[in-house]
Amino acid sequence: MKLLYLLPLLVSIVGVGAGRISEQENEETQMICGKRADGHHRKVINGEYVKKGEHPWAVTVYMRFLDKKNQFDLFYGVGTMISSRHIVKFNSLFNTGKNTDNLNLNGHEYTGYKGICEGDNLIVPQELLSRFDADFEYLNDVNKNREFHNTVAKVTVIHGCKELLTSNPMIIELIAPLDNNTVPACISNSARNWERVDEFSVYGTNKAGPLVSGRFKPIECSASAPFSCAEASNKSQGLCNGDFGGSAIANMDHRHVMLGFYAGDNTDCRGNTETMDPFKFVNLGHYRQEICEATGVCVPPPVEDVTPEPQPEAPSTTAAPEEGTTTHYSVNGEEIKAETFAPLIVSNSSTKGCVTNGSSGEVIKAETFEPMLIDHRGSTRADRVRDIHIHIHLNK
């Protein structure tokens, strides 16, 4: 696996202050997310120059806990910036059974603090926010005596109040951007993106702390949603529990998209990589809407995920449908629902605004109705089709 290097970032998103990002910030985020700048390098340890950065959205997330001697120790892992103030990573909180009254920090310390439920999401209480920190210093070995800074405004575990698992996405919301030039990764807008790519990179921290990366490709497996599977492109590489939470980043349409993160349970880091079981990941596309609601980072689903399948054409008939029934029509693959009503009143006199039956000369009084909303966009058929043909059947 190869060492990644940090890239000086070029585009700025201003977003100081806690909370979801605004619609304008989200538009700016979607304009720049997943874009890597070229032609820059950074000087690091011993004055050596490193190659161009591969993952400028990668961050190291730290969590401190009290050990058995009541002294602070450090746990760390990788995270991914999805906006200037939001990080996605694997969940590092545990509880006792389904009780959220005594949150545990990554299996090391029972805190005595209770999680707060916002719908299905678990919110970490304010008293524990000082236990979290994040920075871009993933090129260096981790300093376990590092000073923690007041960087975190909120920590949310998606669906953590339903069941608190390490596979739940954790959202860390920052008080202010870690860097004024943050370039976030794009988030996957569909679980199907996993099978739409040929290959992707997975990055995580090694034992000492620096970031390492390898190439993987999607494969089919027996895992059910929200999981998907992959295998190493190079059979000499693999993943184990030390890589838990490693982010899967794919190049899609010239953007780098976070597909998910490693959530497997392989504990044999020295095993034969050629015979290892498929590596299991949390497919982030399953959480597109939840991430939008929690962070304001919102991406629309692809058209094929929301467009209904074309409906078969209704058989042609000259007989009028029975009164009070609903008839389904299909025009250019779009389903139209039409209600039938009682027969209209027939008059023998000519009236302005009425419809004349050409065969008998009778005048039909027709009432007008307001357009009916018929799709998720809030638009009516009249918004999209200029000519509408109405067939009126007379019951003699």
pLDDT, tens only, 46-61: 223 233 466 788 888 9
The domain tally of the chain equals 2
What DSSP designation does 263 have? -
Closest CA to 137 of 74, 210, 201, 88: 210
Q: Residue 85 belongs to a domain with what CATH number?
A: 2.40.10
Of 114, 140, 174, the domain-final residue? 174
Question: Could you tell me if 116 and 165 lie in one domain?
Answer: yes
**pLDDT over threshold 60, residue 242:** yes
In a shared domain, residues 143 and 192: no
Q: How confident is the model at residue 14 (pLDDT cuts 50, 70, 90)?
A: very low
Q: Is residue 353 part of a domain?
A: no
Q: Kindly state the percentage of the chain with pLDDT values over 90.
A: 40
Which structure tokens are listed for 315?
Answer: 């058989």
Q: Read out DSSP for 127-190?
A: GGGGGEEEES-TTS---TTPPP-S-EEEEEETTTTT---TTSEEEEEESS-SSTT--PPEEPS-
CB 63, CB 50: distance < 8 Å: no
Cα distance between residue 277 and residue 68, in whole Å: 36
Same structural domain, 283 and 191: yes
Picking from 254, 287, 320, the residue at the C-terminal end of a domain is 287
Do the domain assignments include residue 389? no
Q: Within 13 A of 136's CA, how many CA atoms are on the CB side?
A: 21
Mean pLDDT of all residues in 216-228: 93
Q: What is the pLDDT of residue 286?
A: 96
User: Measured at the alpha carbon of residue 26, what is the angle toward residues 283 and 296, in degrees to the nearest 5?
Assistant: 60
State whether 158 and 232 are in the same domain.
no
Segment 144-169, tens digit of pLDDT: 888 999 999 999 999 999 998 889 99
User: Chain-wide mean pLDDT for the chain?
Assistant: 75
Asked if residue 312 is part of any domain, the answer here is: no
376 versus 108: the higher-pLDDT residue is 108
Looking at the structure, tell me whether residues 85 and 166 fall in a common domain.
yes
Residues 147 and 235 in one domain: no
Domain that holds residue 276: 186-287
Place of tokens 């993160």: 261
Provide the 3-class DSSP secondary structure of residue 288.
Answer: helix
Mean pLDDT of 117-132: 96
> pLDDT confidence of 351, banded at 50, 70, 90?
very low
User: 63 lies in a domain?
Assistant: yes
Query: Domain of 241: which CATH number?
Result: 2.40.10.10
Highest mean pLDDT among 105-114, 299-308, 324-333, 379-388: 105-114
My answer on whether 154 and 74 are in the same domain is yes
Going by C-alpha positions, the residue among 273, 280, 277, 216 that lies closest to residue 245 is 280
> Which of 137, 65, 164, 144 is CA-nearest to residue 108?
65
Q: What is the pLDDT of residue 366?
A: 53
Is 364 inside any structural domain?
no
pLDDT score recorded for residue 208: 54
Specify whether 207 is located in the same domain as 170.
no
Same domain, 62 and 162: yes
pTM exceeds 0.85: no
Q: Do both 280 and 236 map to the same domain?
A: yes
Per-residue pLDDT at 100 exceeds 50: yes
Give mean pLDDT, residues 328-345. Answer: 50
> Are residues 243 and 170 part of one domain?
no
Which helix (H) or strand (E) covers residue 305, if one does?
helix 303-306
Task: Flag whether 108 is in a domain.
Answer: yes
| Domain end among 131, 149, 174 | 174
Residue 297 lies in a domain: no
Same domain for 168 and 69?
A: yes
Residue with the bigger pLDDT between 204 and 38: it is 204
Pick 324 or 239 by higher pLDDT: 239
Determine the distance from the C-alpha atom of residue 147 to the mean position of all C-alpha atoms in its chain, rounded to a whole number. Answer: 32
Residue 255 lies in a domain: yes
